[in-house]
Structure formats: structure tokens, C-alpha cells
Amino acid sequence: MAEATSLRGTAAAPAQRRAVAGRLRNRHREWLAGYLFVAPDALGLLVFIGAPMLLSLSLGFFEVSGFGTYEFVGLANYRRMFHDPLFLLSLRVTLTYIVMLVPALYVSGLGLALLIQRSTRFNAVVRSLLFMPQTVSLVVVSLVWQLLLVDKIGVVSRLLRPIGLGWISWLGDPHFALAVIVVVSVWFLMGFYMLIFLGGLQDIPQEYYEAARIDGAGRLSCFFRITLPLLRPTSFFVLLVSTVTAVCGSQTFDLVYVMTRGGPANTTSLAIFYVYQQAFLFNEYGYAAAMASFLVLVLIVLTVCMFALTRGGRFTYD
């Protein structure tokens, strides 16, 4: 009897090994399929983003005139960067722009999402209208706003003339130019962030609100005790993306380039625009690369700090 059991066990062992080997082969096939699906994107990121970033980083250690001459200067471009008053001014302007833009995008995006979160035909039309600026070229948007803000004869000046504000040069006065760029940026981007907040709001179970109403909670109480806490991951994403957009987004550069060209008196010369000037107007490619690398480093530090302080958007501190 014992011998029969031993024989059956001996015969079953190869079958078990074959089953395990088959599962491993299937798992390897799944891994291979996954890597093959990811490979095109990974290759594209490596060739079109990773390699240029490494080249830009290395270019910051050279003096490049734009005529094919490269001279290794070490950290000279970085030392020059911190002694350049215009670059330091562009950093201050960028910081001011971030402080003004990011909260405005958060409040406007969340406010619009709360107003039109119900699925009705009217709200669907409003959503489309609010998102419509995203479908238009930002250069066209900038040119239209530039025409609307023409001194004295622009539509904005004419509308504000009855209250005594028609004399203001909105794009030519250093006190108002950056604020106008912020307003146009919010008008252009708020529809995008509205959709992000709408997605977050739709993920909140309605049972929470129903239970809160049964307990006598009002709308404000529901907003601060249910909506905001459950929107923390979405809020983190919005704050992170809007900060990156404010520092080096193409929308930021396009608006400044078309509407003000960094003026008046460099009051709208953001850091990304100053990097462009040094590279493509003054042929200081090595210096521009050093400044671009510094901006990327600042963004990495800000991102890491935001992840560390909020636990990746969960905002838990225990």
C-alpha cells in the first residue's frame, strides 16, 4: 500500500512541475506582452524627452555662441545666473505669477464644477462653452485679447469708461500687465480644471450627502466635511499641474510672448520667457541651458516637497 502511494506521488511530481513551468511561461508571456505595449511610449520618452534633457544639462557647462563653437566653462553659467539681475527679477515675477494663478485656477475650477455638476442639458451646454477656449489656438486667443485691451479704443476700455477706468493701459502699465496675463490665463485654463474637478466630484458617493442631510447638515457643512476631504487627491493633482504650468507651461510662454513680450519694464518677463530670450535672441545657448536646468531642478524639488507633505495627495499626517 505504501509502495503504491509512493508510486502515485512519484508520477504526480513531474505533472506538478510541468504545471508550474506552464504557469511561469504564461507569466513570462504576460510580462513580455506588457513590456512590448509600453516599449513605444518608453522609447519615445527616452528619445524625445530624456535625451534632450541630458543634452541640455550638459550644454549648461559650455559657452555656446550659436555658430558651432563650444567652450567648456564649468560652473561659470550657473554663477552668472545667480548674479544676473534680470534673471533674478524673472524668478520674482514667476513666483508672483504662481501665487496669483494657482489659487485662482483652483477656486474657479472647483467653483464651476460645483455649479454644473448635475447632468442636465443646460449644464452640458455650459460645460462645452467653458471648455471651448481649450479648442482654440492660444496664439489666436492672445491676439484677440490684445485687441480687446487696446488703450482707450479697445472694447474693455470702452466698457470701463463709465466708471472712470477707461484710461488705464492694461498691457502697457507695469502695475496691471501681469494681473491681465493672470486673468487671461485663468479664463483660458479654468475649463480644463473644471473637468478634472467634475471627475473628482462624480467619484464621491451620493450616500454620504444623503446621510449628512438626514443628520441635519447644511450645504456648507457638506462641502467642508465631505466634498473637500474626498477631493484631496484631485486637489493635489490640480495644484501640482497648475504649478508646473505656471513655471514652464507652453500656455504661459505663448501668452507672454504674444501679448507683452515680457514688458513693460520686464514686469511680465517670466523665467521661461527669459530663457527663450537668452537662447534665441542673444544666442546664449549654454547660459539658457543652465537656467532651464535650474528651473527643472526647482520643479523637481517642489514636486518632491508636495508629495512628501501631502503623502501623494492623501494629506494624512499620522
Q: What pLDDT is attached to residue 24?
A: 55
Instruction: Give yes or no for residue 318 having a pLDDT over 50.
Output: no
3-state secondary structure 161-202: HHHCCCCCCCCCCCCCHHHHHHHHHHHHHHHHHHHHHHHHHH
Residue 183 CA to residue 100 CA, distance in Å, equals: 9
Q: What pLDDT is attached to residue 214?
A: 84
Q: What pLDDT is attached to residue 22?
A: 56
Whole-model pTM: value is 0.83
Span 286-314, average pLDDT: 84
The CATH number of the structural domain formed by 95-265 is: 1.10.3720.10
Least confident of 109-118, 121-130, 140-149, 186-195: 121-130
Tell me the DSSP string of 238-300.
Answer: HHHHHHHHHHH-HHHHHHHHHHTTT-STTTT--HHHHHHIIIIIS--HHHHHHHHHHHHHHHH
Band of the pLDDT at 79, cuts 50, 70, 90?
A: very high
Band of the pLDDT at 21, cuts 50, 70, 90?
A: low
For residue 130, how far is the Cα from the chain centroid? 19
Find out whether 263 and 233 touch, Cβ atoms under 8 Å: no
Instruction: Give yes or no for residue 154 having a pLDDT over 50.
Output: yes
Q: Mean of the per-residue pLDDT values for the chain?
A: 83
Q: What pLDDT is attached to residue 2?
A: 47
Q: 206-217 pLDDT, tens per residue?
A: 888 888 888 888
